[in-house]
Amino acid sequence: MPRPDRTRLGAYGAAALCVAYGSMKLAQALGATALADKDPLPPEARARLLARDPMFVASHWALAGAAVAGVIVALLALRPWSGSVPRRLLMGICWTVGIFMIARSVGVLGFGVIGDATLLTGLRPPPPEHAALARELAWWDLLLWSPFFLLWGTCWTVTGWRLRRT
């Protein structure tokens, strides 16, 4: 009996995390506030988000739609009927999304472990008028969002690696 292809877990993980993230964004687009106040945003943008500014509502709808597209891409990477979509295109999408998410989790894009750690250790002082909020959001990002994006990005890169091998 052949050994199961463990790299398939990457695609299933990417799809499951797309569902989780997309569900949260859809709920927020519909008016829920779960975790909305934990987004690592500047205070002005955070206030607009919590006030349900139309731009932020629209962005939640767009992110929910992108999550649906992510589920489709992840499942296309697994199925034989994905032959209608060029493998190189799927591989490029998986690698690009995966690297972007890993970069976000590490802190290359400003958020992530590096940015949070420098703020929490005092190497990068928070804005004095929002110091407590900045520290709270850094903790949320360090303990929730960065690991989430690291896991999600890893799932996407494993899926891209699997497509390269097949």
Q: What is the mean pLDDT of each run of 10 residues along the chain (166 residues)?
A: 69 97 95 86 86 94 98 88 78 96 89 92 90 92 96 96 81
> Which backbone phi and psi does 83 adopt, to 5 degrees?
-60, -20
pLDDT of residue 165: 74
Residue 126 contacts residue 78 (beta carbons within 8 Å): no
- Cα–Cα dist 34/28, whole Å: 7
pLDDT of residue 163: 87
pLDDT of residue 80: 66
Selection from 13, 14, 149 nearest residue 93 by Cα: 14
86 alpha carbon, distance to own chain's centre: 24
pLDDT of residue 4: 60
